[in-house]
Structure 1
Amino acid sequence: MLPKIISCIWCSKITKKNSFNQTKSWRNICTKGYQWIHQLIEERGSDLETEMLICSKCLTMLYKARKCRGTANGEGFCGDGNNEEYCIWCLKYSTETVPLSAAERISLLCDYKIYCSSNARRCVNRCLEIPVQRTNEPTRLTAKQTISILNDLIDEVNRIKLMPIFLENDSVGSEEDFIAWTGWNLNQLMEMTSLIEPHMYKSKHRSPFGAVCMYWIKLKTNLSFRQIGTIFKIQTTKESIRKRVEDTFHTVSTHLYNALVPLHLGFHHISRTDALEHHTAYTKTFFGNNLSIIWDGTYIYTNKSEDHKLQQETYSGQKSRHLIKFMSIILPDGYVLDLIGPFKGKDNDAKISKAILDMNDNLSIICEPGDTQIVDRGFRDVAGVFEDLGFAVKMPGFLKQGEKQLTAEQANDTRMTTKTRWVVESFHSQFKKWRFFSERISQDYIAYIDILVRTVAASLNKYRSRLYEGKSPEDYALANKMLLLKSRSSHLEQLIINGDLSLRKQWNNIYDIEPDFNFPYLTLDFLREYTCGIYQIKQSSSYAKAHLFNNDDQFEFQLFSSNDSLLHCRLHSKHSRTTKYYLCIQFDNDDDDDPIKDHYCQCKSGARNLGCCSHVATVLWYIGYARHISWTPPTRTDIFREKIFDC
């Protein structure tokens, strides 16, 4: 009969049953007298057995630890250093483990006050995020162990002193840190690294991941190359640091451009069918199923040049600054079709777009006659060129000489255009969050500014979600409602034009709103639906604050003497100190579903029926909503105004 094999419950040392009977080096600990050892076994994650044996070496070690336990500091360190046979995190035996690195051992010591020797191991599958607490393993270090841990701490301090701010396999930088410094999360940066790594030379001074981080930190923060070199702990002379980072920046710029731009930017990278997938409910409802493209110019400020000719060509009379321009060509959900440039600062959007059409016929790759080109007023000189090519042009209306207000039809068409065109402005805001493009650049960058600009645009296409989906059932419902409202006429407009409401004696002044003032309560959902958007509601608090300031904190308005369902008010223009606009609102307190019957304002776009202007929205928001929630004007900016001296 084969001898029975037994093992130590603590260290798993194996022996035969015969050997156990013949020696005093083993002890049976199943009795109640060893309950304190039972507790230690359970804390280590092991199960108690019916027959538990422990070797004399482990028993002696536990007795010594027990003797010291009564005087151990509860806030002190734990871990006895005998940890080569189990996982230091979960305390389990018989699992596949790997040795801990010095950094991991130091992290355990600093973060969790757990001491472990250089032989410590951890489960291969990274079993736990936080190690199991162990209060019954007081740390007693020998002189050799103390010297070893001090050397580890010194090595770790020296490593951190020379460690760059970002490493792909380091836990120091959080996800938020990567986004704040580069604009991208860790996974996105690692994917970019994989794109350029085959083309980059790797050395002890520069890793591909670090090079990608340097590139995006430069664009995101616009720090100097010397400052970025300090962040990445580059050890060389001052001038060499700047040169090394600059060379890295240009190298990454070239490789990222070659990897991203051909696949994610330009008329050639997308088919017409795919481009149509980027439509929204509003472009489909307003302009049909043909392709809609949004055009708008953006600019990057530059320093003055010693070259007089270059200085003249980059000067913009409109901005009174030196700049270069790019033309953004965007699909309705914010996907960048192309970003073309740079162009001279003195050229306007119409001249630039005409030059783009003359330089190449790339537009014909995905566009067909009948497609819609959505532009702003600066493109009016090139609208005929688009129409000659067979495209429909949608542009906000503009006043002719002597006119003060757009007609209702012009104002409604303008609202439909701005409802679809705002996404290009949102893209420019997103693009200029990389501060390199929002601040003034040196003329040295002009030679390759197109590479930088197009790389950022291609990266946004690949790694960011679309700026605006706009395909929900609610979007389609609002778009169809706006289309129906377009044909509605305003009864108030006719009354005001005919002079029926113009006599001052017909209006009763109200200087303050009593809590029981009889006006319909309007929810934010109703206001969003009535204004056909949120922009006017966002503007309302600023208009209301100014109106209260100008009228001694009283919201002054008037009611019609013979019809108390007509409200009249004067609001200032935010662009002019002296200009005020008269507006009129007709309401019905008995109609809960449609309490606001009509409106009219004398501002430029106040005649529209597709939503309303910000002046009308302000009165509706304040009287119908804000006063019910005890809204008070924000005071944060008052101190700024008070700090400015009057002359």
Structure 2
Amino acid sequence: MPFFIDGNTRCCKHHLSEQLFDDTSLQALTAKYTTTYMNRSDITSLLENVRKTLATSHILNFDNPLSLSDGDYYNLTGLSKQQFNELSSYIVSARQTNVRSVRTCIAVLLTKLRTGLPNHILGTIFSLAKSQVQRCIHSARVSLMQDFVPHFIGFQHISHEDFVRNHTTPIAKTLFANDSEDAAIIVMDGTYIYLQKSADYEFQRLSYSLHKNRPLVKPMVIVGTDGYILSVLGPYFANGKNNDAAITKHMISVNAEGMNEWLETSDVCVVDRGFRDVVDFLREQGYNVEMPVYLKKGSKQHPVEEANASRLVTKVRWVVESVNARVKQWRFFDKVVSNHFIPIIGDLLRIVCAVCNKFRPPLAGTHPEDKSIAEAMLEKCKKGNAIQKMVTEEGLLTKRTIYKLVDASNVLDELADFPVLSMDKLREITMGVYQLKQAPNYVREHEGEDGKFELYVCKIKENLLKIKIQSRHSNKLSHTVFISYSDEGDIEGWYCTCKSGARVVGCCAHVASVLWYLGYQRLEQQSGSRRDFKTSVLDASHIPSSDESDCDSLPEE
């Protein structure tokens, strides 16, 4: 029901939000009179206010909390309405003007980062000139870097003790810190922000990555094992002198953000193979380093000990890749960044990372069974692969006559004794979810019209299966999977010929796809629907034969 409130009416400030009535106060309003007298000035003022309201109704108005829904806030800024209000409350240094408010400046910057739209389009959306959009971005960036970012990112924003207590997962603590309550476990990785080709030839050479074959800069992201972003350093150049190892050595040598005082002896650095040249340097500083093992030159597969040790690292290190993916959801960083943003790329990245720390949930949660999972991984890490040993010693990989091909249409009957596996049991076997996410994709390819599941039963070894799995990376490469099971319904062991297929701390995606198909999916009788994109794209290697062409119908000359 509409109300008319006289302009001289007074109101307690506790009922207002951004100079407007809050929802609770609006619900409590009641009319004292059913009629009122208005003079000519009152009517003129009322009509003028209505005109102004209608004229601005099509404009995105972040100053009026009722003009945009919670979904609108999230789609534009990446934050809910409540989160946006909380973020705005941190800003005390920005100057309010008649043209644009502080909330509008923050909204313009976050929309820029969230969508990656160019400034002239943002100007159309917010009904601002391009120059005004640029000033909004500058004002919001400076204010956020001063009032908000220092509270939520950087080595000095959190103590070593709080970081260990709140941002170290039980799995990481058990695997790499012997359940110590004092050791911080950090995961480091460099990410990429692609740039335009520069007319400054020296900068072009320094920013050109031979690895990616394009110009870019590299920020170094340092996170906790739950995905909390401790710090983002850089960005650095991308030439050969700025690899991950060189960047790490530079950070410690210059004591970036006072990190040397923050880090303590026996802290653990979890890294990937790109840091191999700085491992000894880090250990000289007193830090423990955990890195996946390199595949030796000339080898096609990791030994079981190396594969097991690498799996312990990847069980923890995956979180930094997910952090990089979360940051790239802000499409400004997922696109090619215009060169005039180069001086402020570091600030913009820190703003997004601080927002993620404040308003996003942890990527790795804590569960009651985490410690037991880590202890089981450490126990299995000491064991060898009995199936690999049997296959190697008895030559089961090369012998063909000892196997019987199973009819794909009759798998249920021919393998009726194969164990039934629940999703919980599959997760217990894989010790992770990544392999299970890949399983349906492998199975779809082998179930399709052009693919087939080459599944064999060994004639001389009871309950031993051999399966051919096509590599998802190369048409020329396929992997052979061996799975052994017992009559009691247990999976006794597995072996795959892929690089990490010998490990027993979890299994590779090829083994997981077979276990998922035989032990779970085929019994569920559910086939996931998917779109076949191959029919939408032409293949130049498929040329119709002469009998299928219309050449014979051409007239003779």
| TM-score normalised by the chain length of structure 2 | 0.85
Task: Provide the residue aligned with 2:231 in structure 1.
Answer: 338
Offset at 1:634? 3.4
Q: How many residues end up aligned between the 2 structures?
A: 512
Which of 322, 325, 345 aligns to 2:215? It is 322
Q: Secondary structure of the equivalent of 1:342?
A: strand
RMSD across aligned positions (CA): 3.1
Which of 184, 204, 207 aligns to 1:311? It is 204
Q: Secondary structure of the equivalent of 2:156?
A: helix
Unpaired segments ≥5 residues, structure 1: 1-78, 86-95, 102-120, 132-140, 235-240
Task: Provide the residue aligned with 2:487 in structure 1.
Answer: 589
Summarize deviations over 1:416-463 as a string: whole Å, max 9, x none: 101101111111111111111111111111112111111221222223
Which structure has the larger Rg?
A: 1
Offset at 1:260? 2.1
Q: Secondary structure of the equivalent of 1:559?
A: strand
The change in CA–CA distance for 1:564 and 1:634 in structure 2 (over 3 A counts) is farther
Q: Secondary structure of the equivalent of 2:493?
A: strand
| Alignment partners' CA distance in 2, 1:337 and 1:538 | 29
Which of 100, 107, 116 aligns to 1:213? It is 107
Summarize deviations over 1:602-637 as a string: whole Å, max 9, x none: 11000111110000001000011111122335331x
Which of 51, 58, 61 aligns to 1:166? It is 61
Task: Provide the residue aligned with 2:544 in structure 1.
Answer: none
Task: Provide the residue aligned with 2:433 in structure 1.
Answer: 534
| Alignment partners' CA distance in 1, 2:260 and 2:395 | 54
Q: Which AA in structure 2 matches 1:298?
A: T
How do residues 415-494 of structure 1 correspond to structure 2 at under 5 angstroms?
A: 415-470=311-366, 472-494=367-389
Q: Secondary structure of the equivalent of 1:504?
A: coil
Task: Tell me if structure 1 keeps the 8 A contact 2:305–2:384.
Answer: no
Q: Does 1:253 align with 2:108?
A: no
Q: Secondary structure of the equivalent of 1:567?
A: strand
Task: Tell me if structure 2 keeps the 8 A contact 1:166–1:173.
Answer: yes
The change in CA–CA distance for 1:639 and 1:263 in structure 2 (over 3 A counts) is closer
Q: Which AA in structure 2 matches 1:337?
A: L
Offset at 1:157? 6.5
Q: Which AA in structure 2 matches 1:357?
A: I
| Alignment partners' CA distance in 1, 2:149 and 2:104 | 21
Which of 103, 107, 116 aligns to 1:222? It is 116
Task: Tell me if structure 2 keeps the 8 A contact 1:583–1:599.
Answer: yes
Offset at 1:97? 13
Task: Tell me if structure 2 keeps the 8 A contact 1:279–1:331.
Answer: yes
Summarize deviations over 1:321-349 as a string: whole Å, max 9, x none: 11011000111111111100111121221
Task: Provide the residue aligned with 1:643 in structure 2.
Answer: 537
Q: Which AA in structure 2 matches 1:252?
A: A
Task: Tell me if structure 2 keeps the 8 A contact 1:97–1:124.
Answer: no
| Alignment partners' CA distance in 2, 1:123 and 1:531 | 50
Unpaired segments ≥5 residues, structure 2: 6-10, 542-557
The change in CA–CA distance for 1:390 and 1:550 in structure 2 (over 3 A counts) is farther
The change in CA–CA distance for 1:544 and 1:169 in structure 2 (over 3 A counts) is same
Taking CA–CA contacts closer than 8 Å with sequence separation of 6 or more, which of the two structures ends up with the larger relative contact order? 2
| Alignment partners' CA distance in 1, 2:136 and 2:286 | 47
Offset at 1:150? 13
Task: Provide the residue aligned with 1:404 in structure 2.
Answer: 300
The change in CA–CA distance for 1:217 and 1:267 in structure 2 (over 3 A counts) is same
Which of 45, 60, 85 aligns to 1:190? It is 85
Q: Which AA in structure 1 matches 2:447?
A: L
Offset at 1:168? 3.5
| Alignment partners' CA distance in 2, 1:365 and 1:187 | 37
Task: Tell me if structure 1 keeps the 8 A contact 2:169–2:225.
Answer: yes
Task: Tell me if structure 1 keeps the 8 A contact 2:283–2:289.
Answer: yes
| Alignment partners' CA distance in 2, 1:128 and 1:632 | 55
Q: Secondary structure of the equivalent of 2:482?
A: strand
Summarize deviations over 1:281-312 as a string: whole Å, max 9, x none: 11111012222110100011100111111111
Task: Provide the residue aligned with 1:572 in structure 2.
Answer: 470
Task: Tell me if structure 1 keeps the 8 A contact 2:168–2:224.
Answer: yes
| Alignment partners' CA distance in 1, 2:330 and 2:22 | 41
| TM-score normalised by the chain length of structure 1 | 0.74
How do residues 390-401 of structure 1 correspond to structure 2 at under 5 angstroms?
A: 390-401=286-297
